[in-house]
Structure formats: structure tokens, C-alpha cells
């Protein structure tokens, strides 16, 4: 009887782990297009058109510029095929307004992510 | 008659088939290495050079001009000599846990928890505990005001070896405890009852009954402590790699460095022979001291 | 005159044991805490509770090193060691229950082999393995673990406890020897099997010195080697190292907690034999 319980545990735990691993990998397979998208707004909350969003990728200890995108008429930017899991985002406009650098950490490489709106403001002198 | 002999032959063939794989592995990885070590230690040999008999030259070099060997030997002996401290602590814990204490099983599990861990990981954990910036020991010492400058435990010539030994204690304490518990549980209860009826005080009961009957278990603990000086390679490799200088060099790390760092297989073999003899001599002494009825040994 | 559990005289013992357990658990806490710390782990004073705890150190370690590859190597080596040692130990344990000339001699030989620690054989073991041509392979790492003397004796004792009449009956029914082992003896020796599996798992999973010697190429490294390498390459970076440590410790701890009894029995069975 005791042995049956043991066999149960020894079979059940690895199976549960295996199931979790498989489920996790299936989830990854459907969500790893490397799409990072979000909105750029000004302080009043209006979408900013034509702002440049820069993605900085972590390179060991410092962050290095990797890719740029521009916001469309709705103030939305979109990076595709970002093969990374850690980086920073910053929005800049042509008239010198900037957003803070937003730290971005993903659960797996090229996870599709929706970023909370980046707010641009005039940097203090 | 022929039928009988055929059956005997079949039986023998079966035994040989079943035993052969195990015996082959023991031969290749236990017996052959033992002899090969002895052979290598009296030859000058390297993978690129034919063997040449040189007698005891390696041993001469080791004993006369190798300071590192002496340092490693002393450190190994210190390492072994400290193990009775851990055994005594484990005995105390075993006595506490052996009684009808509620929750004894939980305590036992917690104390034993560190034994099955990967030693490399244990080394990294302890290295971090000793760290002068983020480490636990410096945190406790500095925030309680005992020291005001961070102590670099593992970079210090005085502290490095005791620090490694303490980490090793943490890992093997639970194992000593389990061995001693098994020993304690095999002591017949009626001896204690009888002593209690006769009015023997608790301390005398401990020294007259418990300790003498625990001798085989204590012997086993001592042997494990001696073998620990071999298995602590992982710990030393990760925590200090023998440094600072050679303050934490053990014979086993020196063997590794001589063999695979400097590719002096022959010299490393001579070192191994010395280490093995040390193991045998110490085990025999411990066996004598514990009354001569040795239990069989546990590996690793 | 036994006191009932929980009576007043027990509390000093509880206090001592709680202090001991606390001290034993501090290293665990410190490493788990560090692995969850988001801020600079070298900041003074170290926080007892991380200000900004997160799990991303675990994500980092997965990508900073070929973690999956190390894991695969470790799993394969361990699986080979478990399967091989089970097969060989069962066979050898069964053979030793039979009477044959020289049996005593082999038992003595095995018992004395137990005295030779593997660490004392590394130089020739390396040469033997390179002579066999399996250096830098999974088999080469698993080979020395394929047969363990303690487990042979555990199986021998377990098989001897089976009533001989049962075996004789099976033999009369015409079962072959290997079938007798697999059909009759093994189902009655499950606890011995569990002990063998657990001990081999722990030894193989934790083994460091032998893979360090037997493995040369980076993509054959097992988890302990990967850990040591990670430490030497980037010790001064983040909590990722400690996340690695925690990840590596989990399987061993899980196995131990699941099968504590078998594990302890296996370790002490060498001790109780006279």
C-alpha cells in the first residue's frame, strides 16, 4: 500500500512536470513572433504621431540601441521579430520631447508584448 | 551424472554472465586504478613519453622539495581533525531528536536537507554567504557592530580554511546525525530501564551505556569524515580553488592540479598513493580506537 | 517515567532544535532571496526581504548560458546511470544469492572495493576511459556509476528475503532465470529498486570531479560543470547565478523529499551491515 503511494508520487510528479513543460512550450510556440507594440502619448493623453521609439537591447551590462520604429496615425508603434528577452524602450519626438526609459523584461525570448503607453514630455533643462 | 554436471555448468555460466558486467566495472574503475597508480608512481611517464622506471624519485621530490604537498597534507589533516567537532554536534542533535519529541521527524528532515545537495551549488551558496558585500556573515557582523570593516573571509589566509570546513560541516552534519540515530535506535531500551532502576544518573548512563554502544556508529562517522577530505574537492574548487596562496589546498585538489593542470600524471599518481595510504592508516587507527568492530563502509 | 510529548520539560529541547534548524536553513534562504532580488545584489546593507522581488533572474539564466543543453546532458547521463546500474546491480545481486565456487571470495572482493573512494582513482580512471575511447561522451561520464556495491548488497539481501519455495515453484513451472528475476523477485523488491534509483540519481546528478575530468567540449557539459563555468565567467553580475543554483538544487531536493525513507535507508544500510 505504501509502495503504491510512492509509485503514484514518482509517476505523478514527473508527469505533471512534463505536462507543464509541454504546455509552456506550446504557449511559447504560439506567442513568439517577437512583436512588441504600444502607444506613445503626450502628457494630456493624446496619441503622438510620428514619434520615434528606440529599443535598447541589453548587452551583458550596458544597453545598446537595437532597432527603431515610428508611431502611426493612432500613435501606435510596432516592432517585429525582436529576438530578445530584456531591453529598454524610449520614445522621442521631432520637437525634442522624450519619454522615460521603460525597462522591459519578458518571460521568454521574442515574447509578443503589449507595452503600457509611453508618455513623452519636455525634458527639464 | 552428466545431467548434473550440465546443470552445474549452466548454473556457473549464469552466475558468470550476471556478475561479469559489475565485476568488469569494478575491475576497470577500482582495482585496476589502484594498481596503475602504484605503477605510475614509480615511473616517469607522460602521454607522449614511454615509461621509465625511476624508483622512489617522485616520493623523494614530494617529501623533500614540495612545499605545496606539505601544505596540502597539513590542510587535509586539519580538515579531518575538525570532523570530530561536527560529529559531536551531530551526536547532540541526534540525542535531542531521538527522544519522544513532538515534531522530531520535521527537525530531522531539516537538518538532513543539506546532505543530498549538489556540492558545487553548496560551494556557491557559501561563497556568497561569506561575500564581503552581499554576504550573510558580514551583514550579521557589521550590523551588530562586531566589526566595522567588511571581512574578506575567503581571501584571508587565516579564515579561508575554517570557512571551507564550516561549509562542509553544514553539508555533512545531517548525514552524521542519521548514522548516529541509527546507532542510537539499535541500543536496547531495557539497558536504560535497568540503569534507571538502579539509580544511575543521566550523565553516567550516557557515558556507560550510550557512548560505548555507539562506537561502531562513531567509527563510521569518522570514516565518513576522512573520506570527506576527498569528496570536498568540489567545495574547495568552487569556493577558493585552493587559494589564497595554497591556504585551502587539499591533497585531492593538488592531485587534480598536478594531473590535469600540469599534466604530470605520474606525480599525481604518487600523490594519490600517499593519500590512499593516509586514508587506510587513519581508518585502521580509528577502527582500533573504536574497539575493532567496524561496520562496512559507505561510498561517497 | 516517560514524559508525555509537549510537557514543560520539552521546551528547552524544542528551543535548541529550532535554533539548529534556523541555522541550517539560513543558507537556503539567503540564496533564494538573492535569486529573487531585482536591485543590485551588492548594495549595502543587504536586504533581508528583497524590495523589488521578481523571477526574471530565472529567465536570464536560461538565455545567458546554454541551460537546456546542460540540462539535457545531465538528464541523459543520469538516466543512463540509473538504467545501467539497475540492470547490473540486479543481475549481480541475484548471482550472489546462488551458491557457486568462489562466491565468498567475490563478496570479500566487493566489500574491499567499497573502501576505495572513487576520488583516489581519478588519474587511472581517466586513462582507462580514454583507452576505451569514451572520453567526452555521455557513456564515459556514466560508466563508473554503472555499478554500485551498496546497491548490489541491498538487492542481495532483498532477494534472500524471498522464500526459496517461491523460486523453486517458478523453476518447476519452467521459467527462465531472468524471468524469475523480473517476474518474481523484482516485484517483491520495490523498496530496493527505489533505493538504487534514488542513490544513483543523487550521485550522478551531483557528480562534479569526474565530469570535470572526462568532459572537454563545452556542449557536453553537465549542470555542475555549467555552474562552475558560469561562476568563473561572470561572477560579478546579477542574481542569475543564484537563480541557476536554485534551479539545479530543485530536482535533488524534490527527489529527496519524495523518497526520504528509501534514501536514508540506502545510505545507512552500508552502516548496519556487520
Q: How far apart are CA B16 and CA B12, in angstroms?
A: 6
What the block records as the C-alpha cell of A20 is 507543464
Range of C88's domain? Answer: 53-272
**Residue at grid coordinates 519619454:** A99
What are the pLDDT digits (tens) for C125-179? Answer: 999 999 999 999 999 999 998 888 888 988 988 898 888 888 888 888 888 888 8
Is C239 a domain residue?
A: yes
Is C31 a domain residue?
A: no
H-run or E-run covering C128: helix C122-132
Nearest residue in C to B121, CA atom: C245
Best residue in B33, B129, B196 for a mutation probing chain C (most C CBs within 10 Å): B33
Could you state, in order of their start, the residue ranges of all structural domains in chain B? 1-41, 56-289
What are the pLDDT digits (tens) for C116-130? Answer: 888 888 999 999 999
Contact between chains at C254 and A107 (C-beta distance less than 8 A): no
Best residue in C40, C55, C63 for a mutation probing chain A (most A CBs within 10 Å): C63
For position B297, what pLDDT does the model report?
A: 39
Contact between chains at C119 and B231 (C-beta distance less than 8 A): yes
Is C21 a domain residue?
A: no
**Hey, which chains touch B, using 3+ CB pairs under 8 Å?**
C
What is the per-residue burial (b if ≥16 Cβ within 10 Å, else e) of B50-59? eeeeeeebbb
Contacts with C259 from chain A: Cβ below 8 Å: 6, 10
Q: How far apart are CA C122 and CA B36, in angstroms?
A: 11
The count of structural domains within chain C is 1
For position C273, what pLDDT does the model report?
A: 41
Is C45 a domain residue?
A: no
Which CATH number does the domain housing residue C80 bear? 1.10.3720.10
Q: What is the mean pLDDT of each run of 10 residues along chain B (300 residues)?
A: 70 86 90 91 85 87 90 94 94 87 87 91 92 88 86 90 94 92 87 86 85 87 88 91 88 92 90 92 85 44
Contact between chains at A3 and C191 (C-beta distance less than 8 A): yes
**Residue at grid coordinates 587535509:** B76
| Cβ pair A123, A98 in contact under 8 A | yes
Mention the CATH class of domain B56-289. mainly alpha
What are the pLDDT digits (tens) for A48-106? Answer: 888 888 888 877 677 888 888 888 888 888 888 888 888 888 888 888 888 888 888 88
Provide the ipTM.
0.88
Is C212 a domain residue?
A: yes
For position C270, what pLDDT does the model report?
A: 54
| Cβ pair C265, C195 in contact under 8 A | yes
Provide CB contacts within 8 A for C269, sequence distance 6+: C150, C153, C154, C157, C195
Q: Is the dihedral of CA A28, A33, A36, A37 positive or negative?
A: negative
Is C41 a domain residue?
A: no
Determine the topology of domain A36-121 in CATH: Immunoglobulin-like (2.60.40)
Strands A52-59 and A62-70, bridge-based pairing: antiparallel
Give the number of other CB atoms < 10 A from CB of residue B68. Answer: 15
Is C104 a domain residue?
A: yes
Which of A3, A61, A107 lies at the smallest CB-CB distance from C59?
A107
DSSP assignment, residue B177? H
Amino acid at each position: 500500500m505504501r509502495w503504491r503511494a510512492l509509485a503514484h508520487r514518482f509517476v505523478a510528479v514527473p508527469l505533471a512536470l512534463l505536462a507543464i513543460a509541454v504546455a509552456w512550450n506550446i504557449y511559447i510556440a504560439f506567442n513568439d513572433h517577437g512583436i512588441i507594440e504600444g502607444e506613445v502619448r503626450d502628457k494630456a493623453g493624446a496619441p503622438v504621431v510620428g514619434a520615434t521609439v528606440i529599443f535598447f537591447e541589453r548587452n551583458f551590462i550596458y544597453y545598446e540601441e537595437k532597432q527603431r520604429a515610428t508611431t502611426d496615425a493612432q500613435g501606435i508603434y510596432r516592432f517585429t521579430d525582436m529576438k530578445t528577452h530584456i531591453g529598454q524602450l524610449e520614445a522621442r519626438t521631432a520637437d525634442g520631447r522624450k519619454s522615460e526609459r521603460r525597462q522591459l523584461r519578458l518571460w521568454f525570448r521574442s515574447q509578443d508584448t503589449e507595452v503600457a503607453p509611453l508618455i513623452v514630455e519636455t525634458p527639464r533643462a | 551424472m552428466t545431467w548434473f554436471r550440465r546443470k552445474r555448468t549452466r548454473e556457473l555460466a549464469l552466475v558468470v554472465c550476471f556478475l561479469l558486467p559489475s565485476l568488469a566495472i569494478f575491475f576497470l574503475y577500482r582495482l585496476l586504478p589502484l594498481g596503475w597508480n602504484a605503477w605510475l608512481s614509480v615511473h616517469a611517464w607522460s602521454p607522449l613519453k614511454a615509461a621509465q622506471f625511476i624508483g622512489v624519485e617522485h616520493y623523494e621530490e614530494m617529501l623533500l622539495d614540495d612545499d605545496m604537498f606539505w601544505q596540502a597534507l597539513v590542510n587535509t589533516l586539519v580538515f579531518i581533525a575538525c570532523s570530530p567537532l561536527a560529529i559531536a554536534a551531530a551526536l547532540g542533535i541526534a540525542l535531542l531528536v531521538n527522544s519522544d519529541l513532538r515534531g522530531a521527524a520535521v527537525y530531522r528532515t531539516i537538518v538532513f536537507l543539506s546532505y543530498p545537495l549538489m556540492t558545487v551549488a553548496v560551494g556557491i551558496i557559501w561563497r556568497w554567504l561569506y561575500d564581503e558585500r552581499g554576504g550573510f556573515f558580514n551583514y550579521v557582523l557589521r550590523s551588530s557592530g562586531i566589526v566595522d570593516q567588511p571581512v574578506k573571509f575567503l581571501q584571508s589566509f587565516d579564515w579561508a580554511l575554517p570557512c571551507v570546513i564550516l561549509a562542509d560541516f553544514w553539508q555533512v552534519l545531517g548525514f552524521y546525525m542519521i548514522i548516529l540515530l541509527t546507532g542510537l535506535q539499535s541500543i536496547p531500551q531495557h539497558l536504560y530501564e535497568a540503569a534507571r532502576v538502579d539509580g544511575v544518573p543521566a550523565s553516567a548512563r550516557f557515558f556507560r551505556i550510550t557512548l560505548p554502544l555507539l562506537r561502531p556508529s562513531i567509527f563510521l562517522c569518522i570514516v565518513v569524515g576522512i573520506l570527506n577530505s576527498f569528496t570536498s574537492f568540489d567545495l574547495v574548487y568552487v569556493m577558493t580553488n585552493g587559494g589564497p596562496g595554497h591556504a585551502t589546498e587539499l591533497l585531492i585538489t593538488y592531485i587534480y592540479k598536478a594531473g590535469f593542470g600540469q599534466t604530470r600524471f605520474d606525480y599525481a599518481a604518487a600523490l594519490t598513493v600517499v593519500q590512499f595510504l593516509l586514508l587506510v592508516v587513519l581508518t585502521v587507527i580509528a577502527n582500533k580506537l573504536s574497539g575493532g568492530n567496524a561496520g562496512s563502509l559507505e561510498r561517497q | 517515567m516517560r514524559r508525555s510529548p509537549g510537557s514543560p520539560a520539552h521546551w528547552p529541547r524544542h528551543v535548541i532544535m529550532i535554533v539548529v534548524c534556523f541555522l541550517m536553513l539560513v543558507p537556503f534562504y539567503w540564496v533564494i532571496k538573492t535569486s529573487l532580488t531585482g536591485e543590485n545584489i551588492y548594495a549595502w546593507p543587504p536586504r533581508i526581504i528583497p524590495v523589488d522581488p521578481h523571477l526574471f533572474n530565472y529567465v536570464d539564466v536560461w538565455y545567458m548560458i546554454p541551460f537546456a543543453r546542460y540540462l539535457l546532458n545531465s538528464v541523459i547521463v543520469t538516466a543512463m546511470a540509473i538504467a545501467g546500474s539497475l540492470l547490473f546491480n540486479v543481475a549481480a545481486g541475484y548471482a550472489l544469492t546462488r551458491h557457486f565456487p568462489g562466491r565468498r571470495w567475490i563478496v570479500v572482493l566487493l566489500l574491499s572495493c567499497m573502501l576505495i573512494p572513487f576520488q583516489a582513482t581519478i588519474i587511472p580512471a581517466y586513462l582507462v576511459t580514454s583507452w576505451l575511447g569514451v572520453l567526452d561522451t555521455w557513456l564515459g561520464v556514466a560508466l563508473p556509476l554503472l555499478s554500485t556495491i551498496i546497491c548490489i548488497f541491498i538487492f542481495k539481501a532483498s532477494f534472500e528475503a524471498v522464500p526459496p519455495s517461491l523460486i523453486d515453484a517458478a523453476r518447476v513451472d519452467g521459467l527462465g532465470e531472468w524471468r524469475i528475476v523480473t517476474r518474481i523477485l523484482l516485484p517483491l523488491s520495490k523498496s530496493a529498486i527505489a533505493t538504487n534509483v534514488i542513490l544513483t540519481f543523487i550521485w550522478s546528478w551531483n557528480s562534479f570531479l569526474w565530469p570535470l575530468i572526462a568532459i572537454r567540449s563545452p556542449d557536453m557539459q553537465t549542470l555542475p560543470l555549467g555552474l562552475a563555468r558560469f561562476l568563473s565567467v561572470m561572477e560579478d553580475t546579477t542574481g542569475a547565478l543564484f537563480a541557476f543554483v536554485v534551479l539545479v538544487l530543485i530536482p535533488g531536493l524534490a527527489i529527496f523529499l519524495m523518497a526520504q525513507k528509501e534514501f536514508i535507508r540506502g545510505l545507512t544500510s552500508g552502516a548496519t551491515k556487520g
